[in-house]
Amino acid sequence: MKSLFKHREIWLGLAIVAVILAVTLRFPRFSEPSNLLTVFNDTSILMMLALGQMAVILTRCIDLSMASNLALTGMIVAMANAAFPFIPVPLLILGCVVVGAALGAFNGLLVWKLNIPAIVVTLGTLTIFRGLVFVISGGAWVNAAQMSPDFIQLQRSVFLGLPVLSWFAIVVAALVYVLMTRTPLGRAFYAIGVNPTAAVYTGIDVGKTKFYAFVLAGAISGLAGYLWISRYVIASVEVASGYELNIIAACVIGGVSIAGGIGTVGGALLGALFLGVVNNALPVIGVSPFWQMAISGAAILLAVVLNARGERSKGRVILRGA
């Protein structure tokens, strides 16, 4: 039982339940199944993005451009739908994934071939991708009146009691779980995060593995581009501005180590869900947006402290006092 509670997922699950129960004491309807499903649906995009970021962080890198990738692919698919409404939505979604993966590959190539630190690369591409949104749109917005009904309604449809948006998150989580736990590439992500030098001696190409991590993050960002635009029915330069901080926060709170090599799919999902529950609960109890930001920041700092303590290796005692 004691070893069970060493897992971050257990504590996160209990924290989520505690927040729900605390809010329910004042507003009983908050814990109704329909409302909890709405919270899950609202957090679905963040969950998917956190999984992409987790893959990158496991390799001792970070991707600050995921939100800008989302905005750029979202603008491209919105403009394509407005100009050619006859294009099937599944084909548009596939295009988003391909474009997002290409943008992620651009990041990965710079990190791999030029050996530039990932934080520098993605800080630059964050601005480049966001600037391209303005360039291709001319600063104009694409709104609901310009989008086709099928484009807007797909992720709002309900299947087996859940909106399709939630099913997107479930399918992506299942695929990433299989990738991380059942494939050589997933094991390579962990290996180079734990010890990149030792990974080389086992035959792992560190640079190429990092490249694949960025491609995965980019593909998920591209998919999220369509989902975000079709959900909020607006495409503009400001879409998901600053959202990269939420993505990283979800990973850190979920126990993904910034130092690399440590993290689970379940932890990243619960970290995102924790933020989703908190962000939905605080307005209900009348907490101002400023305090919401402060509480989220405090949660991130606490998670970093817990991660650091958990990763600290215990030295072997060779001398003891009398």
In this structure, are residues 23 and 252 in contact, taking their beta carbons and an 8 Å threshold? Answer: no
How high is the pLDDT of residue 316? 40
Amino acid found at 126: L
How high is the pLDDT of residue 318? 36
Residues of the chain with pLDDT below 70 are 1-7, 288-290, 292-293, 296, 304, 306-322
How high is the pLDDT of residue 22? 84
How high is the pLDDT of residue 310? 59
Name residue, tokens 């101002």. Answer: 288
pTM for this prediction: 0.90
How high is the pLDDT of residue 159? 85
In this structure, are residues 59 and 256 in contact, taking their beta carbons and an 8 Å threshold? Answer: no
Cα dist from 201 to 58, 123, 193, 205, whole Å? 19, 31, 14, 9
CA torsion 270-276-277-278 (nearest 10°) is: 110
Show the CA angle centred on residue 36, arms to residues 35 and 42, nearest 5°. Answer: 90
How high is the pLDDT of residue 7? 67
CA torsion 120-124-125-126 (nearest 10°) is: 100
Which residue ranges make up each domain of the chain? Answer: 43-240
How high is the pLDDT of residue 59? 94
pLDDT, tens digit (0-9, with 9 covering 90-100), for 186-220: 999 999 999 988 888 888 999 999 999 999 999 99
pLDDT, tens digit (0-9, with 9 covering 90-100), for 285-295: 777 666 766 77
